[in-house]
Amino acid sequence: MKGRDMDSAVVEHRTSTSSRTGSEARRRPRRTEAEAAVRTLIEWAGDDPDREGLKGTPERVVRAYEEFFAGYGEDPVALLASTFEKTAAYDQMIVLRDIRLESHCEHHIVPILGKAHVGYLPAERVVGISKLVRLIEVFAKRMQIQEALTSQIADTIQDVLKPRGVGVVIDAAHQCMTTRGIRKPGVSLVTSRMLGCFRDDPTTRREFLSMIGARGSTPHRS
């Protein structure tokens, strides 16, 4: 897919996700309804939800979903609201690498496991590094496609901090492909989103990729 087409697809995904999340027209099911749905799936799979080992499973699954998808209840922009003026006129690249990433594929609701790398070149403000990790967590703890996840992280940093440039690279394995379907373990998807000088200046981009230890292959950009 060409770069412009991918950008359009990711923007459309973000817009539709945002409208669904912000809409009050759709009633959120009660916890008892969610647990009943899990019971139905257990029965559909061919087992008895009332047998000893499965009696508490619907409740446990719903609690797990609260953890897996906690990102829907958090505002990613608010996370970056508290910033600091640059100390000692720091104007070099800030990079966090090897951030463990756990998300879920929106097509099969199975895990996406990997690492995220984030870098930006500050203009006027910097943010606490833990806030960048939390930002990744907020977007990851939603039903996702990796291309959109990569863009959401980069675009939010760019929109809120307004740095000279942002780079985000995610390298992750999708269990929808490794444990089902074509069943190809050991395969990972690498996506990137480069904005500002990270996109326009090859030297800046190479420095970032070198700092995160990126492989020689070109990441799939979004």
Catalytic residue among 12, 33, 107, 124: 107
- CA dihedral of 154, 72, 55, 108, whole degrees rounded to 10: -50
Q: Are 71 and 142 in contact (CB under 8 A)?
A: yes
Q: Tokens representing 27?
A: 């009633």
Q: Are 171 and 149 in contact (CB under 8 A)?
A: no
104 an active-site residue? no
Quote the CA–CA distance of 99 and 115 in Å, as a whole number. 5
Catalytic residue among 104, 152, 176, 197: 176
Catalytic residue among 137, 144, 174, 197: 174
Count CB neighbours of 12 within 10 A: 11
3-class DSSP state of 171: strand
Please state whether beta strands 143-144 and 94-105 pair in parallel, antiparallel, or not at all (unpaired).
Answer: parallel
106 an active-site residue? yes
Catalytic residue among 35, 105, 144, 158: 105
Catalytic residue among 59, 106, 207, 220: 106
146 an active-site residue? yes
Count how many Cα atoms sit within 13 Å of the Cα of residue 49 in the half-sphere of its side chain: 17
Residues ≥6 apart with Cβ < 8 Å to 196 = 121, 158, 163, 164, 165, 166
Catalytic residue among 35, 104, 146, 147: 146
197 an active-site residue? no
105 an active-site residue? yes
Quote the CA–CA distance of 221 and 194 in Å, as a whole number. 8
So which residues are the catalytic ones?
105-108, 146, 174, 176
